[in-house]
């Protein structure tokens, strides 16, 4: 593996970590704001809150998966186009 390949791999890994961190932070912020009452009256998560959190997290993860697949497909297309242009 060449140095440029290693650099590209590191960049991809860093971007993936940033994307996951961003997704997690937004997930926590949005789902907490939507599902958890800010006036904490109970020490435990209520059943309604838990159901709301489950649905909210599922939507976030599904969306993240779809976006990831689309970005991967676009990246593959870009790489193929670059290879064709180089030959």
CA distances, 11 to each of 5, 19, 36, 45, 54 (Å): 10, 12, 36, 39, 32
Confidence of residue 54 (pLDDT cuts 50, 70, 90): very high
Q: CA–CA separation, 34 vs 39, rounded Å?
A: 13
Mean pLDDT of 36-53: 89
Spell out the domain ranges in the chain: 3-86
Confidence of residue 55 (pLDDT cuts 50, 70, 90): very high
Alpha helices in the chain, H assignment, sequence order: 3-35, 47-86
pLDDT digits (tens, 9 = 90+) for 15-31: 989 988 998 999 999 99
**Under a CB-based contact definition with an 8 Å cutoff, are residues 11 and 37 in contact?**
no
- Look up the CATH number of domain 3-86: 1.10.287.810
Question: Would you say residue 45 has pLDDT above 80?
Answer: yes
Q: CA–CA separation, 83 vs 33, rounded Å?
A: 46
pLDDT at 58 (0 to 100):
96
């Amino acid at each position: 593996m060449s140095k440029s390949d290693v650099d590209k791999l590191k960049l991809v890994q860093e971007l993936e970590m940033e994307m996951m961190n961003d997704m997690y932070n937004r997930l926590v912020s949005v789902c907490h704001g939507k599902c958890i009452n800010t006036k904490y009256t109970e020490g435990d998560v209520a059943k309604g809150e838990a159901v709301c959190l489950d649905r909210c997290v599922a939507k976030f993860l599904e969306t993240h998966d779809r976006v990831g697949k689309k970005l991967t497909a676009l990246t593959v297309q870009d790489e193929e186009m670059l290879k064709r242009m180089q030959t």
